[in-house]
Amino acid sequence: MPFAPTASDLPPKDSPTIALVHPTAEERFRTWELNGSSWRGRLSLEAYLRREEYLASQPFSRDEGMSFWILVDTASTGSSRAILASCESFRKRALIKRPGEDVQEVVSHGIGSVFCNPEYRGRGYARRMMNELARQLDTWQQKNGEKAYFTVLYSDIGKEFYSKSGWRAFPSSHIALHPLIEDGNISLSNGELPVAEPLHAGQLMELCKDDEIALRSTLAKPQANKTVISVALIPDEKVIQWHHAREEFVANELLGKSPEIKGAIVQGEKGHRVWCLWTRTFGNEQSGNTMNILRLVIEGEVEEPEGSSFTSPGARLEESHRSQVLAATSVIQSACFEAAKWGMGDVQLWNPTPLTVLAAKKIDRSAEIVERADDSIASLRWHGPELDSTTELTWIGNEKYGWC
């Protein structure tokens, strides 16, 4: 049986005997049992435990792609040490562009599953764990002990807690659209939309490769502001497949079937295509189901700098990018159709660009940008050389695919 300390046995948060370590296999299983009570949703605990093992075996997670961390009191005695807090980190391929330098591929990490046993909350253990983790990730899995440039997480407890350990909140907005029933009368604008074809798993590898090439080119473009540092997580096939493995497992458990359509594309010559990849997220209740757009690619679109106004792109932008807007409308509409078939409550697009906003409003004129304040707050910690007050840090491609 695990050692369960009483209140008097618990060490203070600043105790020198507290350490962040990697769990044993048995301790890793215990962390899943603990957090499963909060995060399993409509899955049974047994199914949730199988899901976590399944996700840990995916190509994205294997070969030390996923690391497990627990906060423990190294001075504790007994057959098993108490887990004061726990989390996971995922190794992520990433890009950085610094002024006057070429685009560089680096190793970043995404942090997820931050959890503190409810019996131990209010004692500062989660804060201690995040501070310890920040130091560990400075050099974790970096070549030759070099220092990392940045790590990310997605907060479901607002912006304040993680910011105190260095993870700064970045733009975290989305547009939500209603599902649509597909029939002969639903196509918008009198049939002017181009045809969006469904995407299946076997098509994603080449698209992800093309997306990465385009993302590198976007970062390489000269910046008007010479003090901008741009970073991006790479939406490669392993990342996308991990999201799909998650939805497939839950869909099979809850509905007895697995989604086959992974996105939609409006074909064309390379450099003139538009596609989106999506994943179905199943909530605690069916009303909480969401079709999340993992990645929307509009080839040739110019990335807008952080802080640009997305709410009123204007008729001039629509006129100059008409074909791109219509193609984006078509693939987003396909997501709305698919959402209806799978009982999703809405379709969400994170941090939409001006062209994405125009496309969304063609489907629903009342669609508005929602600024999230409490959940899924994209947060980034800079581990690199100290930035001066004139340096601007921008996060390119801050979309759902980065979540973990």
- Tally Cβ neighbours within 10 Å of residue 255: 13
| R_g of the chain, CA atoms, integer Å | 22
Q: Looking at residue 80, what is its pLDDT?
A: 79
* Angle at alpha carbon of residue 277, lines to 271 and 280, rounded to 5°: 170
286: which 2 tokens? Answer: 């069916």
Helix 45-56 to helix 25-39 angle (10° resolution) is: 120
Cross-strand partners of 276: 264, 296
Q: Looking at residue 4, what is its pLDDT?
A: 61
Which residues of the chain have a pLDDT value below 70?
A: 1-8, 77-79, 184-191, 302-315
Please give the DSSP secondary-structure letter assigned to residue 312: -
Tell me if 395 sits within 8 A of 232, measured CB to CB.
yes
Tell me if 193 sits within 8 A of 330, measured CB to CB.
yes
Q: Looking at residue 102, what is its pLDDT?
A: 96
d(CA 54, CA 70): 20
Longest CA–CA separation in the chain, Å:
73
167: which 2 tokens? Answer: 């993870």
Buried b (16+ CB within 10 A) or exposed e, 1-10: eeeebeeeeb
Q: Looking at residue 189, what is its pLDDT?
A: 54
92: which 2 tokens? Answer: 């992520």
Q: CA dist 245 to 5, 262, 320, Å?
A: 37, 11, 39
Q: What's the CA dihedral at 180, 184, 185, 187 to 10 degrees? A: 70
**Residue among 5, 133, 154, 22 at smallest CA distance from 76:** 5
Tell me if 76 sits within 8 A of 120, measured CB to CB.
no
Please give the DSSP secondary-structure letter assigned to residue 147: P
Tell me if 97 sits within 8 A of 229, measured CB to CB.
yes
Torsion sign, CA atoms 216, 239, 87, 41:
positive
Q: Looking at residue 187, what is its pLDDT?
A: 55
Q: CA dist 75 to 27, 81, 97, 124, 266, Å?
A: 17, 9, 45, 18, 60
Q: Looking at residue 307, what is its pLDDT?
A: 43
* Angle at alpha carbon of residue 381, lines to 299 and 282, rounded to 5°: 60
**Residue among 59, 74, 70 at smallest CA distance from 28:** 70
Q: Looking at residue 320, what is its pLDDT?
A: 73
Helices (H), 155-236: 160-163, 204-220
Tell me if 297 sits within 8 A of 274, measured CB to CB.
yes
Q: CA dist 365 to 5, 195, 311, 326, 348, Å?
A: 57, 21, 12, 15, 15
d(CA 55, CA 61): 7
pTM of the model: 0.93
48: which 2 tokens? Answer: 């949730």
